[in-house]
Chains A and B, each alone.
Chain A
Amino acid sequence: MAEPAGTDRPKWTRNRLVGVVCLLSGMAVILHSLALALGSWAEPGPGMWPLVIGVALVVASVATLTRRLDDTEQERFCPRSLLVVPALLSLYVFIWAFSLLGLTVPGFLLALFWLKVLGHQGWWMSVTLAALATAVFYVLFVPVLGVPFPADLLLGGR
């Protein structure tokens, strides 16, 4: 569908970006499913259903790309959006530390970081709450629910 030039031209916004990303993933899905055995209509193989989905993805993304935008649906990125980066990074480091050191120390530090740095709480509040939350979750998951956490730096064991 041709867009009238000038007045109502579609902006290159995230809507478009979603469309492009989905178009590419749809094509990737199609390629991968063709590599799997398609089978026949009477006996569909592993690739048949993925092919259907890949084609549907391509069709849907083309529809999104040709759609005229009202652009009210998206949230703008703002400077505070950057907070997502340290937030994700802290979780990544936590997972890594958790697998090596168990819950207590990494859990306390993660909660502290989220309370103090991301949540703007006072020191006293952050330290108390982080310690309390870690303790409660430790008790809930280890002795009560019997989950085998990685060996703990402080409490040792298992």
Chain B
Amino acid sequence: MDVLGSLLDGFSVAFAPANLLYVVIGVSLGMVIGVLPGLGPAATIALLLPVTFGLDSATAIILLAGIYYGAYYGGTITSVLLRLPGEAASVVTAIDGYEMARQGRAGAALGISAIGSFLGGLVAVAGMVLIAPPLADIAVGFGPPEYVALAAVGLLLVTYLGTRSFSMSIISALLGLFLALVGMDPITGSPRFTLGIEDLRDGLNFVPIAMGLFGIGEVLFNLEGRAGAGVDRAKVGRILPTRADLRTSSGAITRGSLLGFLIGVLPGGGGVVSSLASYGVEKRVSKHPDAFGRGAIQGVAGPETANNASSTSAFIPLLTLGLPSNGVLALIFGALLLQGVTPGPDLITSHPDIFWGVIASMVLGNVVLLVLNLPLVGVFVQLLKVPVGVLAALTVLITMVGVFSVRNNVFDMYVVLAFGALGYLMRKAGLEPGPLVLAFVLGPIMETSFRQAMLISNGDPAIFVTRPVSGTLLGLAVLALLVPLVRKALRGRHKTAEQSGSPTKAGRP
């Protein structure tokens, strides 16, 4: 089999000493930042972009991918022990996980999450091996209209599935599209939105924007001292789940793997959505739904499995279509661009080392994470003692120095500062930075494809709806736009009847 041979090649890439080292560094770093308060995977990847610049491209992506899925494992620890979700995807875990911890079963909760995440990750890798190559084959036939449609649908889904309100996410995405306009027009070269500033003629650079919004923005946001100050934390206790625990969770893990994989392939589907969906499914399937919220182990096993599966399968659209499906993957997309590699349908054939190497490294990374989580979880728990102030100081220093190092340019440092302030204000106003960064990356693809499509069709916009793939996608996008409006109208009618809303801000229903 061709796939098998390629996969073996991938393993030979992943087992190269340097790459092996970076897998371990990546996943350990991911674990660490998942545990540490106030720094998410997006911020860390943004901070490391300058460092990856000097690495081989496969190595760079192996490192960053490790951080991404490693952070999900780490985020679980704080959710279970402190009820402080390290990142959004483990919000659901905090419900039953923390409850288990209060009953003295923190170890079991952490153990089952590690095992579930591991299995979910493996299932997703297997699915990726099977689906990605044929998908890339289909995508080779895509023209400009398909790319416009894909990017538009991707952005819409990301905003629709976002954790905050739909209209605010749309605004965030539009700001990203606007920022992507700054600089020279890609086709005619005339300057746009440069305000006469010479440094803006080449456009805004991706790295300082990401580092500012995620790195500095997050640090400023945490200055007010909401992250992890002196919370009582539960004892970990026995880590290995009992046989009964495993039996109870096996169904949840199986369903979580499949659900997570499928949701992860959709744009915007990584992380939060998959864990929420899995929690919902488990609660519905369970014979004792009332046990959920009171320490049901399925409520930990399912979502944790699903979020790791989805964080893996989220790489499929990036590596086959060249379209990142969420903010973190937009950063990885940016890292590939920094390397001079433009992800797209031909990536599998033109850079097999990246594609298969990353896949193989994910298998290794999950094994390393399992080892880190089962025996060494106590070590990571110690990290919770690091004061937020120390982290903030180190973060600002490395951000500033790091951004300078990419282009040896002081102007970029001011850009980081400006976007740090913007990121802070956006958080305060309830705007997520994720859609902005994603849109900033997709903007130029959308514009160029849009203009090429109009050229091809000789000015007939029908080209977007008459071609089967783009037509279907845009149809779905319109549906995605209409559904919330219709639902809102319905809700508005019922609103007088039941006035009280649910206080959870974790997700949309």
List the interface of chain A (C-beta within 8 A of B): 14-15, 17-18, 22, 25, 29, 32-33, 36-37, 40-46, 48-50, 53-54, 56-57, 60-61, 63-64, 67-68, 70, 72-75, 77-78, 80-81, 83-84, 87-88, 91-92, 94-95, 98-99, 103, 107, 110-111, 114-115, 118-121, 129-130, 133-134, 137, 141, 145, 147-150
Residues of A within 8 A of B192 (CB): 32-33, 36, 46, 50
Contact string, B419-430, partner A, CB cutoff 8 A, digits 1/0?
011001001111
CB distance from B189 to the nearest CB of A (A): 9
CB pair B193 A17 closer than 8 Å = no
Q: Known contacts being A44-B454, A87-B223, is A73 close to B401, with CB within 8 Å? A: no
CB distance from B388 to the nearest CB of A (A): 7
CB distance from B201 to the nearest CB of A (A): 14
For the complex, what is the distance from the CA of A107 to the CA of B398, rounded to whole Å?
10
CB pair A42 B454 closer than 8 Å = yes
For the complex, what is the distance from the CA of A76 to the CA of B223, rounded to whole Å?
14
13 contacts between A and B (CB under 8 A): A14-B429, A17-B429, A18-B430, A46-B185, A46-B190, A63-B170, A74-B428, A88-B421, A92-B417, A114-B397, A121-B390, A145-B405, A148-B408
CB pair B171 A57 closer than 8 Å = yes
CB pair A60 B170 closer than 8 Å = yes
Q: Known contacts being A91-B417, A121-B390, is A72 close to B505, with CB within 8 Å? A: yes
Q: Known contacts being A73-B164, A145-B405, is A110 close to B397, with CB within 8 Å? A: yes
Contact of B174 among A60, A73, A80, A81 (CB under 8 A): A60
CB pair B223 A60 closer than 8 Å = no
CB distance from B276 to the nearest CB of A (A): 17
Binds A, one of B91-99, B241-249, B455-463: B455-463
For the complex, what is the distance from the CA of A141 to the CA of B408, rounded to whole Å?
11
CB pair B430 A14 closer than 8 Å = yes
Residues of A within 8 A of B402 (CB): 141
Q: How many A-B residue pairs have CB under 8 A?
A: 188
Residues of A within 8 A of B430 (CB): 14-15, 18, 73-75
- Give A74's nearest chain B residue, CB to CB: B430
Sorting the interface of chain B by its residue count into under 10, 10 to 19, 20 to 34 or 35 or more gives: 35 or more
Q: Known contacts being A32-B192, A46-B185, A103-B401, is A114 close to B171, with CB within 8 Å? A: no
- Give A48's nearest chain B residue, CB to CB: B451
Contact of A32 among B193, B216, B454, B458 (CB under 8 A): B193
Contact of B401 among A18, A81, A137 (CB under 8 A): A137
Contact of B190 among A36, A74, A84, A150 (CB under 8 A): A36
For the complex, what is the distance from the CA of A87 to the CA of B393, rounded to whole Å?
10
List the interface of chain B (C-beta within 8 A of A): 51, 54, 164-165, 167-168, 170-171, 174-175, 177-178, 181, 185, 187-188, 190, 192-193, 216, 219-220, 223-225, 387-390, 392-394, 396-398, 400-402, 404-405, 408, 410, 413-414, 417, 420-421, 424, 427-431, 446-447, 450-451, 454-455, 458-461, 492, 501, 503, 505
CB distance from A134 to the nearest CB of B (A): 7
CB pair B400 A95 closer than 8 Å = yes
- Give B190's nearest chain A residue, CB to CB: A46
